[in-house]
Structure 1
Amino acid sequence: MTKKIGLITYHSAYNFGSVLQALATQMTIKKLGYSTEIVDYRPTEGDYFYKHFFFRHQPLRFFITDLPTALVIPQRQLRQRRFEEFISRHIALSPGEYKEPEDLNVLHDTYSLMISGSDQIINKHSNELITVDWKYMDPYLLAWFDGPKISYASSPASMTDEELEKIAPQLRKFDELSAREQDAAGKLSKLTGRPVATVCDPTLLMDGKEWEQTVNLPVNRIEGDYVLYYSLKRPRVVFKEIMPQLKRLRDRTGCKIAIITPLAGFIPSTKGFVNCLDAGPAQFLSLVKHARTIITDSSHGTLFSINFRKPFWTLDENAQDSRKMQILSRIGLNSRIIPTINDVPDSFDSIDFGDSHEHIEHFRDHSIDYLRSAIEHALESSKKDA
């Protein structure tokens, strides 16, 4: 058996957080001294969701809602190419590409150890899994692998206790378990009857300088100060609710607004707005790094703002998103959560990140220690069982 460590996660989704967390996890394992590659599992359903402009299984109401995105097909095509170029350049993949759960059976003894995670890979309601049979969770639950198994920061997100019971037998077979959110760790611990560590999102395993050293950030194309608005809202919400608020923000601050709305498109027909829909992962990092401030409803938008020490505002109307609340509370920045864009002040204040980054460093060290210890323990146990 090779001494290589395998990793499986959402590495090929056209989602900034998914691709960047995959890269960060792989880089961290390499820094621990292990050879590693990501299993190039690209389920057909995921391909349909991210590569086709309209998801084949989405309800009719979503299809109608998403029709405005047809107006920006060229930008979406460029975005896709940039994602694939980024994956090809930065992520070490397995030689083969796999589409169906049973395809992975050929890898049952390929790796010394498998790591599953991060992202919502054990959430049946995630984009890749919501419309398909439960067997499509097996690749991420490592049902096909015979060796030691570790989870890193895998999130069940909105899974109910009844739904989690369906995957509990596979989870109990893992040598070590961890979760990204504290409440998720508690839920999984109760489910499996075992300790479940709380670890940081992989994007925090690397600080801003490490991200710049790892990814060759492209030159920022926006002149002067700008606010970066990054949202995962759909067209109806963006056009009816968000755009009026952004126009008011532009008028009262005199600042340009750069917009990334992957699920909504956006036609820049208004002065002072810059459409950044075609951004790939590298362009996204550059936009965050050079922004005067960031406004986002995305957890990873928030985390990269923190990593690059940029002033930010996190949108959460009811302050109920556990991912945002738990990490911001942990590092003392929950005051940066606001209900709407209208609550952004006219003057973009700075943030003293000193104490916050000290908390992040401790959390990062704890999470890396978990990975190191989990790998060493699992490999040692497998030697004894051999």
Structure 2
Amino acid sequence: MKVGILTFHNAHNYGAVLQAYALRTKLRKMGHDAHIINYCNKKIQNRYSDKIKLEVSKRDVVFPTHWIKIIGKKLQNDYAQDTWKKQCDSFNKFINEILLENHTNKIKSDDLGKIEMDAFICGSDQVWASWITGGLDPIYFLDFNTNAKKISYAASMPSNKIPLNEQSYFKKCINLLDFVSVREEQVSTTLNNLCNRSIKTVVDPTLLLDANDYSNLLSASCEKEGYVFAYFVHEDNILMECAQKIASQLGKELIELHYYLQKNLKGHNQRADFGPSEFLTYIKNADFVLTNSFHGTVFSVLYGKNFYSIYNNDSRKDNLLNNLKLKSRHIYSIDSIELNQEIDYGSVYELLRWYRKNSIDFLDKALS
């Protein structure tokens, strides 16, 4: 079948672009003619630029006592700008060449119904989160006229609670989809109750593939090995403390990946210029990985790493670690570190195969 994928393919986020790559790759391995459609939500499009924006509130401008805060932000942005530009260029290259295969003309919402497809798939990622898309975006609900099948795969939103003013639209659109699946069990329960239909829970697209399926994305220029790798999807003191302690105990170099280069961490072995290829390669070659990221956790598992996922409450990470019997890899503090614990990846991958099979069966049925 000819399948069009609508997702956050243009977000400069490692998980966003790699889940888009994974879903398209898996569909092609299943024999479908799958393509990522270059529809770009305006709010997401405007979020990424090669120049870091100075975000200042009116309150900060009005009160002179807040001006030092503005100066601090400006100095931080100036410090991070060079690496940010490199990161931005790396993402744009990956999106244009790998995901869009150099077909970079943008598709307008009015043109989607004219595209000849046998099926459209919306998802994965938080495509049903109004705060991300600047209000609910009909395109990510497949709310447009088409004769093609309408399918959601691992669609998500940041909370299992749907605001009252959005519930009627959710109910309408979900009931117009031919096949519905979401990424989190809590979201499935919420939509089951709202829409009175069976909502399947499936794996994030990145888990549909094995580590070998990402081999062609790895960076040939990254030859470094034998280090502890800490990936900060957001800054966190506990993650930093744990990473430093483990690197010290193992006698290994600590390499940190941050969204922005952090001025207050001058002197640390920071990286903030990675594209998706470097992200994968540095996880693959690490001796130990620590992260507060869902996809950092996913690729630690796929590459069979010793790792810790450090967070408080997160249903995505909970679902993943619970289903793979890896709850011990979720820690809250430096006191929870146990370096003697080995991960039985034979058992983990056996569970992952079963977990993955249910998701592939869903796609097979939806696209039959």
Q: Is the TM value for this pair above 0.5? A: yes
**Structure 2 Cα separation of the partners of residues 61 and 38 of structure 1:** 42
Name the structure 2 match of 1:114: 120
Q: Deviations over 1:6-64 (max 9, x none)?
A: 11001111100000000000011111211121111223321221225456888679995
Whether the 8 Å CA contact 1:149–1:175 is kept in 2: the answer is yes
What are the residue-to-residue correspondences of 1:47-66 with 2, within 5 Å?
Answer: 47-51=45-49, 53-54=51-52
Q: Distance in 2 between matches of 1:75 and 1:267?
A: 16
Which residue of structure 1 lines up, in the alignment, with residue 321 of structure 2?
A: 328
Does the residue aligned with 1:369 lie in a helix, a strand or coil?
Answer: helix
Measured in 2, the distance between the counterparts of 1:21 and 1:164 equals 27
1:15 aligns with 2:21: no
Does residue 207 of the first structure (1) align with residue 210 of the second (2)? yes
More displaced stretch, 258-267 vs 172-181:
258-267
Q: Residue deviations 1:60-117, cap 9 Å, x none?
A: 7999586524311111111111112222332246946447xxx222220312210101
Which amino acid is the alignment partner of residue 308 of structure 1? Y
AA matched with 1:175? D
2:367 partner SS: helix
Q: Which amino acid aligns with 1:209?
A: N
Could you report, residue by residue, the CA deviation over 1:130-162 in whole angstroms, capped at 9, with x for unpaired residues? xx244xx11111112413200000012225332
Cα offset, 1:216, TM superposition: 3.8
Displacement after TM superposition at 1:256 (Å): 1.3
Output the aligned Cα RMSD. 2.7
Tell me which amino acid in the other structure corresponds to 1:5: V
Distance 1:196 1:107, change over 3 A: same
Q: Is 2:314 the partner of 1:312?
A: no
Taking a change above 3 Å as real, the CA distance of residues 69 and 25 of structure 1, as seen in their structure-2 partners, is same
Per-residue deviation, 1:4: 2.4
Aligned to 2:155: 154
- Structure 1 gap segments, 5+ residues each: 377-386
SS in 2 for 1:153: coil
**2:348 & 2:254 partners in 1: Cα distance?**
27
**Structure 1 counterpart of 2:351:** 359
Question: Which residue of 189, 193, 212 corresponds with 2:196?
Answer: 193
CA distance in 2, matches of 1:192, 1:113: 22
- Say yes or no: does 1:26 pair with 2:10: no
CA distance, structure 1, for counterparts of residue 196 and residue 48 of structure 2: 36
Equivalent in the alignment of 1:75: 83
Structure 2 spans left out of the alignment, 5+ residues? 61-68
Match of 1:105 in 2: 110
Distance 1:278 1:112, change over 3 A: same
Find the residue that maps to 2:19 and give its secondary structure: helix
Query: In the aligned structure 2, how far is the partner of 1:242 from the partner of 1:307?
Result: 21
Contact 1:42/1:97 (8 A) holds in 2? no
Hey, what's the Cα distance between the residues in 1 that align with 2:59 and 2:349? 43
Counterpart residue type for residue 125 of structure 1 = W
Partner of 1:125: 131
What SS does the corresponding residue of 1:41 show, helix, strand or coil? coil
SS of the residue corresponding to residue 256 of structure 2 reads strand
> Could you tell me whether the CA contact under 8 Å between 2:14 and 2:276 is conserved in 1?
yes
Distance 1:351 1:245, change over 3 A: closer
Give distance in 2, aligned partners of 1:166 and 1:328.
32
- Select which of 182, 195, 204 maps to 1:179: 182
Structure 2 counterpart of 1:370? 362
C-alpha contact 1:37 1:94 (8 A) present in aligned 2: no
Equivalent-residue separation in structure 2 for 1:61 and 1:173 (angstroms): 45
SS at match of 1:155: coil
State the partner residue of 1:85.
Answer: 93
Between the aligned partners of 1:342 and 1:66, the Cα distance in structure 2 is 33
> Where does residue 259 of structure 1 map in the other structure?
256
Cα distance change of structure 1 residues 48 and 302 upon mapping to structure 2, 3 Å threshold: same
Distance 1:195 1:180 in 2: 14
CA distance in 2, matches of 1:33, 1:248: 47
Per the alignment, do residues 335 and 349 of structure 1 end up closer, same or farther by CA in structure 2, a change over 3 Å counting? Answer: closer
CA shift, 1:249, in A, is 4.5
1:218 offset after TM fit, Å?
A: 2.6
1:209 CA drift (Å)? 1.4
Quick one: distance in 1 between partners of 2:89 and 2:306? Answer: 30
Contact 2:218 2:281 in 1 (8 A): no
CA distance in 2, matches of 1:333, 1:17: 20
The 1:55/1:151 distance shift into structure 2, 3 A limit, reads farther
Partner of 2:37: 39
Q: How many residues align?
A: 354
